[in-house]
Each structure stands twice: as structure tokens, then as C-alpha cells.
């Protein structure tokens, strides 16, 4: 079992907080993404889980065992945590063949020759590297090197795998195919995976749940769909997916419907029934449709072809930038009518 529990975890570097009061749980076998802008603390959180850093505050338990505890000083060393780590930089040993790179962790742990051969072959096969076993790392492509790093991690049969932007050095096509490799790896091993990225498309494509981080805190931890459709605050609404956040100037309940005043018009909104007030709405492209009868007037400022459809960046009469998608082509400068359909409303506090 490799459920990971973090309790009030904080980390400070020279008086500056990198992580603040993180309390959360990653379930056994989940694929978790840590998503957030540069400097928000993703790598620090991963390094604390791996055992490369001691938290300044709080406690970490993996599979029910204390791994780090700032109060008692318990600090399990990385090699005793049964955790695999895959870095952006691959960190392969350049003077060792692919096979040796993969088998080396077992050699250090003094496995028998027969076990080393069996487990190394299995890890090479699982990552599609069987034909490359005798090559040196310098003779491999970036994607192949990353697969060696993954095979080396897989060979030790870890209960959890931590991945720090493993695809950041690869081109777009290779990233997409490597996402498939990671997803297969996860399905096959059932390992808990914690994957750091600042690429939301990557996080959305792979993760069961995404922890969106900002300034050392988890702002929201939910499924990709919930993050996109029901953001808790402005940071998440703006960071995940495209769209605009606009203020609400008053709400009224009409029967079952909650209606909000936004951009000088009144629209029905969806919101968390447990929230007593709302202050902003998040307008995604799918909340806006182009209609001559639409009561919001906007001018097209930019048109981007997305393949089969266009993304229109428009500016409303009150100066708000709104994104709409359309199959028909519009020219820059065209005047449009827009209709808003049930956007998500949230409260800033």
C-alpha cells in the first residue's frame, strides 16, 4: 500500500516559505499531478516525499509508515522509502549500457544474477526497450532515454513513483507518445504516481486528480473535470483552461435558478450549493455562443485557427476580453452578439 498522507507540511528556505501548511492525501494507486506556475513549490513537495529534503513543519506517512516528522525528527532516507524517482534530466549513467543502467539499482541491493536478469528483462520489455539493451545512452533519442529512466525506476518495483517534469525536454509529438507510456506504466504497475508539471494539458490528460498549487499552497485538489468546470477561486479559474473571470454585481434567486448580474446583463449561473455568496463567474468559451440576438455586444480582436474551429478573442463594450469558439470564420474588427449560458460562479473568499 502506498497511500501518501501529508499533515500540516511546511518547508522554509532561509526564512522564505516554499510550502505552507499542506494537509492532503494521495490514495494508493492514484495518478496525481502537481500543477502550478514556476516557483509554487511543486519540486519541493516532491523532494520532501522522496526524502531529499526534511520538512520544516508537519509529518509525512507513506503506506501508514512515518517517513518524515518535523516534530520528532524522524527522517527515513530515500533508499528505504521504496519510491522511484524520474527526473526531467533522465540522470542516466553515461558510461553504462541501457541494460546496466536499468539493472544497477538491483546490483547495489545485491540481488542474485538470475533475479537481476529476469527483472531487468521485464523492465526493458515493459518500456519497449528490449532492442536497445546494448546501446549507450548517448546513442538514444530523448524519448528513449526517458524510457530508460522509467525502466530503471520500474525494476525496483517501487510502491510509489515521483516524476519531476519528465517530458519537459521532449518535442510535442514525443511528449504525446510518452504520456501513453506513463499511462500504461501506471495501469500495469498500479503504483501511486505523483507527477510534477506546469503543463495543464499534460496534467489533464494523465492524472486522476490534480493538485493546483500557488505560493506554496494547494489551491484546489480535484479531478481534471471538476477543476475545469467548478474552480474554487480566481487563481484556479484562470490557471486551468481558457476563459475570463468577471465580477458579479448582484445575485437573485428565481425559483430553482440563481441569476447573476455580469457585464451589464443578467444570466443564470451554476454554483456550489454550499456557498452562500458568489463574487465572480468564470466564462469559458463553451459558455459563450455567437447570436445576433445576444444581449452582449463584442468586437473581434484576434482570430486563431484551432483546426476545424476558430478561437475568437473578443472585447465587450465594457472592455472585458472574452473567448468564444466558432466553426464560422470571422474577421478581426467584426461586431458580434454574444449569449452567455450558465457559467460557473464562485466566491473569492
Radius of gyration of the CA atoms of the chain, in A = 24
What phi and psi values does residue 97 have, to the nearest 5 degrees? Answer: -65, 170
Of these, 2, 22, 32, 40, which contacts ligand ATP (CB under 6 A)? 40
Contact 249, 262 (CB under 8 A): yes
CB nearer to ligand ATP: give 37 or 247.
Answer: 37
Contact call for residue 89 and ligand ATP (CB under 6 A): no
Contact call for residue 149 and ligand ATP (CB under 6 A): no
Contact call for residue 55 and ligand ATP (CB under 6 A): no
Contact call for residue 39 and ligand ATP (CB under 6 A): yes
Binders of ligand ATP in range 163-222 (CB under 6 A): 198
Contact 168, 90 (CB under 8 A): no
Contact call for residue 42 and ligand ATP (CB under 6 A): yes
CB nearer to ligand ATP: give 18 or 178.
Answer: 18
Of these, 44, 144, 189, 200, which contacts ligand ATP (CB under 6 A)? 44
Of these, 4, 6, 9, 43, which contacts ligand ATP (CB under 6 A)? 43
Cell numbers at residue 21, please? 501548511
C-alpha–C-alpha distance, residues 348 and 263, integer Å: 18
**Shortest Å, Cβ 116 to ligand ATP:** 34
CB nearer to ligand ATP: give 38 or 225.
Answer: 38
Three-class secondary structure assignment of the chain: CCCEEEEEEEEEECCEEEEEEEEEEECCCCEEEEECCCCCCHHHHHHHHHCCCCCCEEEEEECCEEEEECCCCCECCHHHCCEEEEECCCCCCCCCCHHHHHHHHHHHCCCCHHHHHHHHHHHHHHCCCHHHCCCCHHHCCHHHHHHHHHHHHHCCCCCEEEEECCCCCCCHHHHHHHHHHHHHHHHHHCCEEEEEECCHHHHHHHCCEEEEEECCEEEEEECHHHHHHCCCCHHHHHHCCCCEEEECCCEEEECCEEEEEECCEEEEEEECCCCCCCCEEEECHHHEEECCCCCEEEEEEEEEECCCCEEEEEEECCCCEEEEEECCCCCCCCEEEEEECCCEEECCC
Of these, 4, 31, 36, 132, which contacts ligand ATP (CB under 6 A)? 36
CB nearer to ligand ATP: give 42 or 232.
Answer: 42
Binding segment (CB under 6 A) for ligand ATP, from list 40-48, 69-77, 115-123, 309-317: 40-48
Binding segment (CB under 6 A) for ligand ATP, from list 1-9, 42-50, 63-71, 218-226: 42-50
CB nearer to ligand ATP: give 43 or 271.
Answer: 43
CB nearer to ligand ATP: give 103 or 146.
Answer: 146
CB nearer to ligand ATP: give 238 or 313.
Answer: 238
C-alpha–C-alpha distance, residues 220 and 30, integer Å: 17
Binders of ligand ATP in range 5-34 (CB under 6 A): 13-14, 18
CB nearer to ligand ATP: give 12 or 265.
Answer: 12
**Shortest Å, Cβ 51 to ligand ATP:** 15
Binding segment (CB under 6 A) for ligand ATP, from list 39-47, 109-117, 218-226, 306-314: 39-47
Strand partners, 316: 298
CB nearer to ligand ATP: give 216 or 243.
Answer: 216
Contact 337, 297 (CB under 8 A): yes
Size of the site for ligand ATP (CB under 6 A): 12
Cell numbers at residue 32, please? 496525481
**Shortest Å, Cβ 197 to ligand ATP:** 9
CB nearer to ligand ATP: give 206 or 288.
Answer: 206
**Shortest Å, Cβ 201 to ligand ATP:** 16
The residues of the shown chain that bind ligand ATP, judged by CB under 6 A, are 13-14, 18, 36, 38-44, 198
Amino acid at each position: 500500500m502506498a497511500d501518501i498522507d501529508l499533515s500540516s507540511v511546511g518547508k522554509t528556505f532561509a526564512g522564505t516559505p516554499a510550502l505552507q501548511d499542506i494537509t492532503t492525501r494521495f490514495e494508493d494507486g492514484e495518478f496525481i499531478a502537481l500543477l502550478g506556475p514556476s516557483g509554487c513549490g511543486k519540486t519541493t513537495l516532491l523532494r520532501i516525499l522522496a526524502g531529499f529534503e526534511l520538512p520544516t513543519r508537519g509529518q509525512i506517512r507513506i503506506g501508514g509508515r512515518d517517513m518524515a516528522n518535523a516534530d520528532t525528527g524522524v527522517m527515513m532516507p530515500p533508499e528505504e522509502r521504496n519510491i522511484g524517482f524520474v527526473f526531467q534530466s533522465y540522470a542516466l549513467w553515461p558510461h553504462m549500457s541501457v541494460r546496466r543502467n536499468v539493472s544497477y539499482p538491483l546490483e547495489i541491493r545485491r540481488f542474485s544474477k538470475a533475479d537481476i536478469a529476469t527483472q531487468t528483462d521485464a523492465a526493458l520489455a515493459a518500456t519497449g526497450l528490449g532492442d536497445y539493451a546494448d546501446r549507450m545512452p548517448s546513442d538514444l533519442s530523448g524519448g528513449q532515454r526517458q524510457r530508460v529512466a522509467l525502466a530503471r525506476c520500474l525494476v525496483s518495483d517501487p510502491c510509489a513513483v515521483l516524476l519531476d517534469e519528465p517530458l519537459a525536454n521532449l518535442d510535442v509529438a514525443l511528449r504525446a507518445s510518452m504520456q501513453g507510456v506513463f499511462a500504461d506504466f501506471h495501469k500495469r504497475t498500479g503504483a501511486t504516481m505523483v507527477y510534477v508539471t506546469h503543463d495543464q494539458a499534460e496534467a489533464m490528460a494523465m492524472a486522476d486528480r490534480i493538485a493546483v498549487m500557488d505560493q506554496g499552497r494547494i489551491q484546489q485538489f480535484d479531478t481534471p473535470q471538476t477543476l475545469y468546470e467548478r474552480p474554487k477561486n480566481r487563481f484556479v479559474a484562470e490557471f486551468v483552461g481558457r476563459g475570463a473571470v468577471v465580477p458579479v454585481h448582484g445575485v437573485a434567486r428565481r425559483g430553482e435558478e440563481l441569476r447573476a448580474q455580469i457585464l451589464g446583463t443578467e444570466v443564470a449561473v451554476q454554483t456550489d450549493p454550499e456557498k452562500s455568496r458568489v463574487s465572480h463567474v468564470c466564462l469559458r468559451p463553451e459558455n459563450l455562443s455567437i447570436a445576433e440576438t445576444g444581449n452582449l455586444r463584442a468586437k473581434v480582436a484576434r482570430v486563431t485557427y484551432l483546426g476545424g474551429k476558430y478561437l475568437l478573442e473578443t472585447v465587450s463594450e465594457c472592455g472585458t476580453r472574452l473567448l468564444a469558439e466558432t466553426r464560422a470564420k470571422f474577421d478581426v474588427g467584426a461586431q458580434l452578439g454574444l449569449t452567455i449560458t450558465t457559467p460557473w460562479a464562485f466566491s473569492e473568499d
